[in-house]
Amino acid sequence: MVNLNQSGAVIRYKPFSQSLKVKVGFFVLLIYVVYASLQLDFTYSRFISGLDHASTFFDRMFPPNFERSRILIKGMVESLQIAVLASLLGILISLPIGLLGARNLMPSWASWPARSLVAFCRALHPVIVAILFVKAVGFGALAGILALTVASIGFIGKLFTEAIEEISIKQVEAVRATGASFANIIIFSVLPQVFARFVGFATYQFDSNLRNSTMVGIVGAGGIGGTLFSAFQRFDYDFVAAILITIIAVIMIGEMFAGFIRSVFLDNIGLSDLWRKQAKRPLASKGAESV
């Protein structure tokens, strides 16, 4: 980029040039990456041998074996139930906690304990929390539900609190000026501003719980994860492939369901309207191609 100063001299700018501090920072980062790779025994020969083992593993996985479909369906249904119940409990608990954590609406003596609780729920991975609940309540779906409920509180509570803190305070003051109670202020001025984002948070958390229900099952917290872990221990890799394909299919169906929920609550689209909208898309694409 070329520019002229007041005296008419030519000044050349490099819009993407980096300062010396940035270059030194990237160089230090590169050195640390190389150092960490050497410390963790990350070598090229080990990577190549891993690819050979992976090819052998995939050869044993295909074709997938769906003969034990009864066990597969039972575990998948249990994972789905865990995800639904954990999402519902997490959303119901996160609503008041997220509201209490909003510093623009609540005093500090109420917001800080709520934010600390949310941070505590986010501190540990769901698998670690599932192990703790397995030790507390025993093996089964109850431990998975409790673990994913804690994870849901940590995720939705944090994002819901941040969404409330970003609202326009003018609407809150306008409703408060009418003499409305605190509950009416929340219902008529706060919730309408964060409802769209909250629906997005809730649908994403359901999708996340559906995936995490597989992981917590590996440590004995119910669901398809236990079946998957048992198949790995028996070296039934063809059955492992069947389980993985089923999990992927259910996740994709859950993503479609989450999109439908967002359309219903945010766009006021019914089921018949949604199908009609999907049917019009191929016609529109054909018309564009003909043009």
**DSSP-based three-state secondary structure for 92:** helix
Based on the fold, state whether residues 27 and 148 are members of the same structural domain.
no
Give this prediction's pTM.
0.74
- Check pLDDT > 70 for residue 42: yes
Based on the fold, state whether residues 121 and 195 are members of the same structural domain.
yes
Based on the fold, state whether residues 120 and 228 are members of the same structural domain.
yes
User: Does residue 285 lie within any of the structural domains?
Assistant: no
Based on the fold, state whether residues 111 and 79 are members of the same structural domain.
yes
Q: Which of 163, 209, 202, 169 is nearest to 185 (CA)?
A: 169
- The pLDDT of residue 3 is 54
269 phi, psi to nearest 5 deg: -100, 125
User: Does residue 287 lie within any of the structural domains?
Assistant: no
CA distance linking residue 285 with residue 291, whole number of Å = 10
- The pLDDT of residue 284 is 44
Domain that holds residue 128: 69-279
Based on the fold, state whether residues 42 and 74 are members of the same structural domain.
no
Confidence category of residue 149, pLDDT binned at 50, 70, 90: very high
Based on the fold, state whether residues 196 and 272 are members of the same structural domain.
yes
For the domain that residue 249 is a member of, what is the CATH number? 1.10.3720.10
Based on the fold, state whether residues 164 and 250 are members of the same structural domain.
yes
Give Cα 16 to chain centroid, integer Å.
34
The domain total for the chain is 2
CA distance linking residue 86 with residue 152, whole number of Å = 7
- The pLDDT of residue 271 is 53
